[in-house]
Amino acid sequence: MALPRGRSKLVSSLIAVVAVVLLVGGGMERCSADDDHTLDQTIELIWGASHTYFFMDGNTETLALSLDENQGSCFRSQDMYLFARIDVDIKLVEGNSAGTVATVYTISEGPWQIHDEIDLEFLGNVTGEPYTLHTNIFANGIGGREEQFRLWFDPTTDYHTYTIEWNPKYIIIRVDGKVIRSFKNHQDQGVPFPTWQRQRVYGSLWNAEDWATQGGRIKTDWTGAPFVTYYRNYNVTWCQPSPGVSWCGAEPKDSTHFDLTPQELTDLQWVRNNYMIYSYCNDDRRFNVTEFPKECYLD
């Protein structure tokens, strides 16, 4: 079931139900909806509550975020996490989505100048052109680690699974299980890595027409509003250490427990060879040879 684009049809077709569940407590298994945990117990609507809808898509509880010329919408998890895997199925805005940005990301809530953040941002485009998946990583307030990808499918016609996996050795981003990006912990080489600040999970749909589509040259066509993005099958899995280790933060530095498998390395190279359209580590217009971030020379 897909929600209709017209505002009156959109509102009238929605039924308030439970959609999203996060893992609560210290267990290590993937968590999903149960009778004891409902949406209002696990997430908070930060802004645009009137633009946030919950409905049953068949037997699947689904959250819809919408955007019009007046306002977008955003939710966040009530709980915060240190080392976890976040999986969510998303179906993006159909048709002319220029200027819109849908997100799923994690962020710490301490002082901004030392904040940590892991971003997945889906930059809309005009009808018939591909979405751009924009990723970035902040650690200790330092960002500028942008990488962008085209997707090998149309993300508006069906749900696809997007994953942020954060452990003490890597930040890994997956699409439908395929690794598209890995950022390794090189703190011993002076590269900041998020290891101590808990982060909260967010999802949003908002207007960024000043930069999102072709650098802001293509603006949002509000005659197509409301724009809608759908989220479902949202799960958080606590990081699982190797046997005998008390928790992931205590994993020995020489452990291979979190290393990528040969198949994951193959997938990573395939995506980067065929679908990566930008990496800060390849941007010699932004950096000269002596200014590239240190991690660009490691691994």
**Residues identified as active-site:** 117, 121
**Sequence-distant (≥ 6) Cβ neighbours of residue 140 within 8 angstroms:** 114, 116, 192, 194
**Sequence-distant (≥ 6) Cβ neighbours of residue 220 within 8 angstroms:** 69, 98, 99, 100, 207, 209
Give the H/E segment covering residue 119.
strand 117-123
**Sequence-distant (≥ 6) Cβ neighbours of residue 222 within 8 angstroms:** 68, 69
Angstrom distance (rounded) from CA 82 to CA 55: 30
Angstrom distance (rounded) from CA 272 to CA 270: 6
Give the H/E segment covering residue 265.
helix 262-274
Give the angle 144-131-178 at the CA atoms, nearest 5°: 75
**Is residue 229 helix, strand or coil?**
strand
Amino acid at 124: G
Are the CB atoms for 202 and 105 separated by under 8 Å? yes
Beta bridge partners of 54: 63
Q: 102: closest CA among 145, 144, 162?
A: 162
Number of other CB atoms surrounding residue 104 within 10 Å: 23
| CA R_g for the chain | 19
SS (H, E, C) 148-196: EECCCCCCCCCCEEEEEEECCCEEEEEECCEEEEEEECCHHHCCCCCCC
